[in-house]
Structure 1
Amino acid sequence: MRVRLAILAAVAGQLTALPLSAQQNCPTIEFEHGEDVTTVGGTVKPEDEACYRLEAEAGESFTLNVIQGDNIVFSVAGVADARDRLTFTAESKSYKIVVGQLMRGVDAEAFKVAIVRSVAAAAKEPSHETVAIPGSVPPEMRQKIATDVAEMLKRCRSDWPLYASFHDCQCLAGKFVEARLRDPGQPGEEIGFEIRKECVNPQGIITYMYDYCFKDVSRMNLLQKMKGATERQWASYCKCFAATVAKTYASAPDPSYSYIETIGGDAFAACPRSP
């Protein structure tokens, strides 16, 4: 294990230590109009690296995956070193990507790296606006409701991230207040159970399921090998997959893993794949 870590550390240093002149000549990665997937490729000699510059908008999500080159890894400056696959959310406007060999061989090696830009910008930070409580509510009850809502929002956003992607937590907080006002004595757990299927967030579902689909490297590789699918065709398939899951879930929401797995399997079979 120590030897492996030492190798990765050495490779990371090699991949991020490009001369200044080389850094300035890194070509910019281009996405065709209307496309959210592209590839870069070429060959790298054992002692050389290939570098690229990725332009981004804050909040965009990117997945990079080595799809050719058994001995190829890449580093994203300031994000991660010596990887063959990586997903990250942009916080800067530009990133340097350096590609090289993991174990220095004798010959140059061909490589190809797929870069996928999320189908939608990463989810915005959760809204922290105060949930409206009617002014006619007595101060003590008002404070109790505010405390219960704060706890409900905390659990919605942190206890089960999948749920927070499929449902709008801020919307649910409003539903919680309405239920509490109807029956001040009803336990919060009961209210949560009653409203759990409300406030579906279709765009959140699409973003989550698209990223899930494209990160499923084993399935992607299977389609490439068995069906000859390109990364662009795979991205198109994942768009269909995510939209189908969102449509089905919105029509009959049920926040359970087993249900989501079922409709996900149906969507996987329903969306057209490359012949």
Structure 2
Amino acid sequence: MTFCVCTLSFGAYATEDCTEIRFTPGATSVEIQGEAPPEDVLCYLMRTGENQEARIQVLEGSNTMITVLDIADGRQDISFTTQARQYEIRVGQSLRAIEAQPFRMLVSVE
């Protein structure tokens, strides 16, 4: 089951400006669509349990990169084993463009 979250640009360096990723009951993934701003990043928060397998991947948006703080930086596909904590995910442009760049990414936790 997949759930779509559409986003707007937020100031991404303060946790209170991040958008929390919520999975619908029974779902293990969520699809997020938005536009990576030219001079900022979008910020998302994801809470996980201990020893889950998380994967965050860019499905569309060749100029889009994702960073999971303290895990991996500037990639299009990140997989890791989780701890019981909150993770901050940042989405931005790989190479700065003049205009916002549309993207679609999949976040899954199993």
Shorter-chain TM-score bucket reads: 0.7 to 0.9
Answer 1 or 2: which has greater helix percent.
1
Task: Give per-residue Cα distances to partners, 1:218-250, cap 9 Å, x unaligned.
Answer: xxxxxxxxxxxxxxxxxxxxxxxxxxxxxxxxx
Structure 1 residue 98 corresponds to structure 2 residue 90: yes
Paired residue secondary structure (2:20): coil
Aligned to 1:83: 75
Offset of 1:48 from its aligned partner? 1.5
Paired residue secondary structure (2:58): strand
Aligned to 1:252: none
Offset of 1:33 from its aligned partner? 0.8
Structure 2 gaps of 5+ residues are: 1-11
Paired residue secondary structure (1:106): coil
Distance 1:89 1:81 in 2: 16
Q: TM-score, normalised by structure 1?
A: 0.35
Distance 1:28 1:71 in 2: 23
Distance 2:94 2:71 in 1: 18
Offset of 1:19 from its aligned partner? 3.2
The 5 Å alignment of 1:147-166 reads none
Task: Give per-residue Cα distances to partners, 1:65-108, cap 9 Å, x unaligned.
Answer: 10010100010001000010011011241000000000001111
Paired residue secondary structure (1:96): strand
Aligned to 1:30: 22
Structure 1 residue 70 corresponds to structure 2 residue 99: no
Tell me the number of residue pairs that the alignment of Structure 1 and Structure 2 aligns. 99
Distance 2:84 2:63 in 1: 29
The 5 Å alignment of 1:50-61 reads 50-61=42-53
Paired residue secondary structure (1:98): strand
Aligned to 2:13: 19
Structure 1 gaps of 5+ residues are: 1-17, 119-275
With CA pairs under 8 Å and 6+ residues apart, which has the higher RCO, 1 or 2? 2
Answer 1 or 2: which has greater strand percent.
2
Aligned to 2:106: 114
Kindly, what percent of the aligned residue pairs are identical?
Answer: 27
Q: TM-score, normalised by structure 2?
A: 0.84
Distance 1:95 1:32 in 2: 18
RMSD: 1.1
